[in-house]
Structure 1
Amino acid sequence: MILRRLTTALRKQDWFTVAIETLIVVFGVFIGLQVNNWNEARQNRIDERGYLERLAEDISVSIEQNEQRIAFMDRQDRNITVALERLSRCEFPIEDRDTVANAFFHVGKSLPPALVRGVINELNATGKFQFISNSDIRDAVTAMTEAVDSADLVFRTTLARGNPHVVYVESQIEYKLSGARQGDVDIVWGDIGFDQKFVCSDLRFRKALSAARYYTNGTNKQVIEVADAQRALLAMIGNELAP
């Protein structure tokens, strides 16, 4: 209809009508584009909220995993401290025997910082990382990811340096337990055996145990730092999602 009226007006050289009809066309196109832009912006906000909610879930799981790792490595630090004290006196009182057994059994066990990367990988792979409009959150995600990647590299080096000490401690232990067992599950005194007089007098054994504790504590420090950063990030996301 508009094009027909515009054509008729042009033939009649009715410039006023031409101007009006042209403005109507231009205005209609403009409104259509604006509606598309508004719809796109609205969809982007919906997508952003969905990504932030899923990111918060991933970070929450990461924090939970890191808290478990921290608790285990803290326990191992305490166990080895008690074991070194008992070795120095060559006394193993009943109340400390399970602690000493677990110090030997879990020696060198550690894990680097955990990070569930599902949403982060998706955002990077699809180029939608910029959908997160809060630049502070984007910066925090980037910094945390870089910290975890760096910690992984350090962990490999630490593992290589600590492995000879762990191997020596384990070489003096007889494992009496059998069957599958989760890595962080504790044992009791009777589950392992060792020559008490020998390990008490063997300076290399005590040094190896001490070195393993040192490397485990170094890894634990990195896990603690990443977990703190993840808690801060989770709080930022919570504020962003708040009504």
Structure 2
Amino acid sequence: MILQRLATSIRKQDWFTVLIETLIVVFGVFLGIQLGNWNEARQDQSGLLSAVDRLKGEAELNLKIADGVIERIDDFEDGRIAAMRAISSCDASEEAQRGVESAIEEMMSDLSPELVDFSLTELGRRDEYLDRLSDEFREAMNTYQGDLAEEKSALASNNVLLWDQHVIKHPAIGAEFTPDDPETSTVLKLRVPLAELCLDAEFQREFAVTAGFVESTKLRLKRFQTRTRDYLDALQDEQARLDAR
């Protein structure tokens, strides 16, 4: 309608009306663009807040996952200590042999936690979100992401190394298969009586190294938890800053 009036005014050479109606058209276009940008900014802000909230939930989940592995390591610490004493004292009893076998099996359990980073990866692909984050938080987030990747790689490598060096390649350790019991389908067993193995310096060394690997896993996870809590503090500060905008 306004364009028809504008055309009519031009034909009549009513330049004042032409100017006014042109300004109205330009202002309408400008206002439409501004409203579109404002709506897009609101959507980006809402999406960013949701993404940051997911980051928080993911980091808290990683803390719980690490807690679970640390708890498992602590739960069979007494068994590891008792097994090392049995080996050192050459305890030839059946109970001692079963204790050493149980300790080995516990140490060979999967201690490589499935730490998660889905939200971090997703956020890294959204430039429109990253541009709205503060430089301080982006640095904290990048540091945490690097720590997370390092832990996932190191813990997985440690787990493979444990099996490769201390079970698969160790002649004194074998496995019994019980397919009728899915929960204990594979049980690690000593192929040589403990009374002989305790005199084997290599076996003692391998057992001590395996126990050391387990403790190093625990220490790594505790260190990762400390860094994760620092990251959560930075994330909470960033949430407060974004909420205030």
- TM-score, normalised to structure 2, is 0.74
Query: How do 1:32-111 residues align onto structure 2 when only pairs under 5 Å count?
Result: 32-76=32-76, 79-91=79-91, 100=100, 102-111=102-111
Query: How do 1:232-243 residues align onto structure 2 when only pairs under 5 Å count?
Result: 232-241=230-239
Inter-CA distance 170–225: structure 2 relative to 1 (3 Å threshold):
farther
The equivalent of 1:130 in structure 2 is: 130
Q: Distance in 1 between matches of 2:126 and 2:198?
A: 59
- Alignment-mate amino acid for residue 21 of structure 1: E
The equivalent of 1:209 in structure 2 is: 207
Q: Distance in 2 between matches of 1:98 and 1:195?
A: 11
Inter-CA distance 20–214: structure 2 relative to 1 (3 Å threshold):
same
Structure 1 alignment gaps of length 5 or more? none
Q: Which has the higher contact order (CA 8 A, sep 6+)?
A: 1
- CA deviations on 1:109-161 (whole Å, 9 max, x unpaired) are 45345422332333345666527624444433333332233334434554455
The equivalent of 2:118 in structure 1 is: 118
Cα drift, residue 75 of structure 1: 4.2
Cα drift, residue 43 of structure 1: 0.9
- Does the 8 Å contact 2:197/2:203 carry over to 1? yes
- Does the 8 Å contact 1:108/1:213 carry over to 2? no
Q: Distance in 2 between matches of 1:176 and 1:232?
A: 45
Inter-CA distance 28–176: structure 2 relative to 1 (3 Å threshold):
closer
Q: Distance in 1 between matches of 2:12 and 2:139?
A: 63
When the two structures are aligned, how many residues end up with a matched partner? 237
Most deviating of 54-63 and 28-37: 54-63
Please state whether the residue corresponding to 2:107 is helix, strand or coil: coil
Q: Distance in 2 between matches of 1:200 and 1:110?
A: 26
- CA deviations on 1:152-174 (whole Å, 9 max, x unpaired) are 44345544554323446683477
- Alignment-mate amino acid for residue 221 of structure 2: V
Inter-CA distance 125–84: structure 2 relative to 1 (3 Å threshold):
same
The equivalent of 1:164 in structure 2 is: 165
Q: Distance in 2 between matches of 1:129 and 1:222?
A: 31
- State whether structure 2 residue 217 is matched by structure 1 residue 219: yes
- State whether structure 2 residue 141 is matched by structure 1 residue 141: yes
Q: Distance in 2 between matches of 1:182 and 1:222?
A: 29
Q: Distance in 1 between matches of 2:91 and 2:67?
A: 33
- Does the 8 Å contact 2:2/2:21 carry over to 1? yes
- Does the 8 Å contact 1:77/1:217 carry over to 2? no
The equivalent of 1:27 in structure 2 is: 27
Q: Distance in 1 between matches of 2:76 and 2:56?
A: 30
Please state whether the residue corresponding to 1:181 is helix, strand or coil: helix
Cα drift, residue 210 of structure 1: 0.5
Cα drift, residue 8 of structure 1: 3.0
Please state whether the residue corresponding to 1:116 is helix, strand or coil: coil
Cα drift, residue 42 of structure 1: 0.8
Cα drift, residue 220 of structure 1: 3.0
- Does the 8 Å contact 1:63/1:227 carry over to 2? yes
In structure 2, which of residues 229, 232, 241 is the aligned counterpart of residue 231 of structure 1? 229
- TM-score, normalised to structure 1, is 0.75
Please state whether the residue corresponding to 1:147 is helix, strand or coil: helix
Inter-CA distance 240–125: structure 2 relative to 1 (3 Å threshold):
closer
- Does the 8 Å contact 2:70/2:221 carry over to 1? yes
Q: Distance in 2 between matches of 1:15 and 1:233?
A: 63
